[in-house]
């Protein structure tokens, strides 16, 4: 059975530790959004929803990293997340994780795999 996938963006749109790309996870104005970022040379994607209060992370569209570019940050309460895993290392939801979306890069594009099935976030304490 072929795996469902869709293009999120061109690979070049994701700079290491830079602005991310937002994308819809459904149809309509109220559909949840996801976002893709590049960290440690790899594209990563998550549902754009903080596990603390359910708010979107970005403080401006596509701005997910804090100033140093080491962590993703929730603009609402300042929770910090590991960009490779989505694991929260500081803030009100410490120990929780962002919802991971499966991706792969092929032919200069970042693809969202099985867009209707978010992956489980890893349990990680690094």
pLDDT value of position 120: 47
In sequence order, which residues have a C-beta less than 8 Å from that of residue 123 and are 6 or more positions away? 97
Q: What tens digit of pLDDT does each residue of 112-125 get?
A: 998 665 544 444 44
Helix (H, G, I), strand (E, B) or coil at 13: helix
Confidence of residue 76 (pLDDT cuts 50, 70, 90): very high
Averaged over 63-81, what is the pLDDT? 95
Task: Please report, rounded to a whole number, the percentage of residues in the chain having pLDDT higher than 90.
Answer: 79
**98: closest CA among 39, 41, 27?**
39
CATH number of 5-113: 2.102.10.10
Mean pLDDT of the residues in the chain: 89
Q: What is the pTM of this model?
A: 0.87
Averaged over 48-57, what is the pLDDT? 95
């Amino acid at each position: 059975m072929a795996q469902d996938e869709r293009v999120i963006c061109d690979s070049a749109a994701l700079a290491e530790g830079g602005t991310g790309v937002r994308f819809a996870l459904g149809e309509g104005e109220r559909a949840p959004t996801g976002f893709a970022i590049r960290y440690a040379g790899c594209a990563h994607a998550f549902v754009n929803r903080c596990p603390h209060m359910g708010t979107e992370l970005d403080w401006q569209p596509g701005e997910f990293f804090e100033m140093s570019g080491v962590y993703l940050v929730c603009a609402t309460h300042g929770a910090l997340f590991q960009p490779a895993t989505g694991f929260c290392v500081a803030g009100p939801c410490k120990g929780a994780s962002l919802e991971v979306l499966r991706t792969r890069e092929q032919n200069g594009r970042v693809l969202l795999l099985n867009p209707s099935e978010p992956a489980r976030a890893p349990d990680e304490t690094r």
